[in-house]
Chain A
């Protein structure tokens, strides 16, 4: 084993030396065959990354900077910003060679030409969605969770079946809608809102008892949007394991390289580490 370790160590060292010797010293070493030059890019030498505006925590961090609202994707802070830069680095882009483009998330799957090389804004992979866009391998596996106002009866619920008697709300186009209808099966159909903000307004107006949303969004709702919010709990994974994927133009020739980059980030522990750093942990799991 020691010998193995030594060999790997030497190989990494050699690869590192090769990279510094041959290329621009500031450019990160790219995966073989997946460098800047090997990719089909919107703009030569630049990786154009699309995301929704506002870009908010925990997916984006840094101080608000125009045209971005709430956060700044260029900061490299927040989970998705960090993942995008990590992927870019695997493909040999420096930080300066990454350009961010604001685009409403629903437009990322419109048929036709796409104004980005990769797009990420907490988009869950669904087979139907892959009809008009290509998805990379997962960069995040998602649980659903329930948020509510502290002190309301639903806040004491400990089981999934305990949620059935409550009126729930979900945001349109999210996996939460499917999850609620297929696995929670509440006695009243859930309300469906255009945005998380509207769902929160309905919660404040007591028109609904709780909001079902992916766990990564709960931090924003509880800390920013609600005055006195609590995470009731995380919901168990059911059916297909939901995950976020990078969206690429349909049948993009870059898909193979992007996937190799993502796989590497899982293998070398980067993704685990970024999740630990940027995405809040905690909240009990409902049974």
Chain B
């Protein structure tokens, strides 16, 4: 039954699209087979740079965002300045559009010509993504940390673990496991946003496809880029689903037998 309904549903949509008055124009402008074959290899090569950017950024973000989340959760009046700084950081970088952060860091900081500060546009583009996404991810971590029941911490402390040991061995392992799906969700967003580094002149997949589009007055190269991004993000999404399902199985193991 599901097969029939699926075929009927998508068949109907396909028919509507193909029979639309503007379809031949759209087909020529977006789905030019020859141009697709011609531009795909260059775009795929440029896509390696996107992969490099997000792999480096994701590793740094995992650590940096956790640090921010932990700092924000430090108890007691002594740590107020630290908590305030972490809060301001998260507010600021979640509030400013990513494009602006990239421009400000990529062209602004570098134009200061400070001695010892790198001027590479690739470096600053990646830093901008790290700063923006760490702000989001730190909030995800914080939600995870706060979801661990206080009794867990109390129990750990009563066993003689220090505050750091409690965090390290009791709270964070549980917190991280709970937030893996939203964490990966943010990473999918990050992977797509690597295209924004192109603003600084870096020729990555999106910029390469833009170059091809402007040379041919045809949008087919954008479809190449879309396919490459989907090829990376869809497996990650399915992997997330699988992780969640596995976790569920483990937690329910025994209970539902």
Q: Are A207 and B120 in contact (CB under 8 A)?
A: yes
Interface size class of B (residues with CB under 8 A): 20 to 34
Does B2 sit at the interface, judged by CB under 8 A?
A: no
Docked complex Cα distance between A79 and B141 (Å): 59
Q: Are B207 and A207 in contact (CB under 8 A)?
A: no
Docked complex Cα distance between A126 and B120 (Å): 33
> Which residues of A lie under 8 Å from residue B200 when comparing CB positions?
191, 198, 202, 207
Shortest CB-to-CB span from B20 to chain A, Å, is 13
Best-surrounded residue of B28, B198, B201, B218 (most CB of chain A within 10 A): B201
Q: Are A206 and B211 in contact (CB under 8 A)?
A: no
Q: Closest residue of chain B to A133, judged by CB?
A: B217
Q: Are B207 and A192 in contact (CB under 8 A)?
A: yes
> Which residues of A lie under 8 Å from residue B28 when comparing CB positions?
111
Docked complex Cα distance between A210 and B178 (Å): 51
> Which residues of B lie under 8 Å from residue A202 when comparing CB positions?
107, 121, 200-201
Docked complex Cα distance between A203 and B111 (Å): 9
Does B180 sit at the interface, judged by CB under 8 A?
A: no
Best-surrounded residue of B28, B29, B111, B217 (most CB of chain A within 10 A): B217
Docked complex Cα distance between A76 and B37 (Å): 46
> Which residues of A lie under 8 Å from residue B29 when comparing CB positions?
111, 132
Shortest CB-to-CB span from A236 to chain B, Å, is 22
Does B147 sit at the interface, judged by CB under 8 A?
A: no
> Which residues of A lie under 8 Å from residue B22 when comparing CB positions?
112
Q: Secondary structure of the B side of the interface?
A: helix
Q: Which of B25, B119, B201 contacts A206 (CB 8 A)?
A: B119
Docked complex Cα distance between A111 and B26 (Å): 8
Q: Are A169 and B201 in contact (CB under 8 A)?
A: yes
Q: List 30 A-B contacts (CB under 8 A).
A: A106-B214, A109-B217, A111-B25, A111-B28, A112-B22, A112-B25, A128-B215, A128-B218, A129-B216, A131-B218, A169-B201, A172-B210, A173-B215, A177-B215, A191-B201, A191-B202, A191-B203, A192-B198, A192-B201, A192-B203, A192-B210, A192-B211, A198-B201, A201-B107, A205-B106, A205-B110, A205-B111, A205-B121, A207-B119, A207-B201
Lowest 7 A-B CB distances belong to which pairs?
A191-B201, A173-B214, A205-B110, A201-B107, A128-B216, A109-B217, A205-B111
Interface residues of B (CB under 8 A from A): 22, 25-26, 28-29, 106-107, 110-111, 113, 119-121, 198-203, 207, 210-211, 214-218
Interface residues of A (CB under 8 A from B): 106, 109, 111-112, 126, 128-129, 131-133, 169, 172-173, 177-178, 189, 191-194, 198-199, 201-202, 204-208
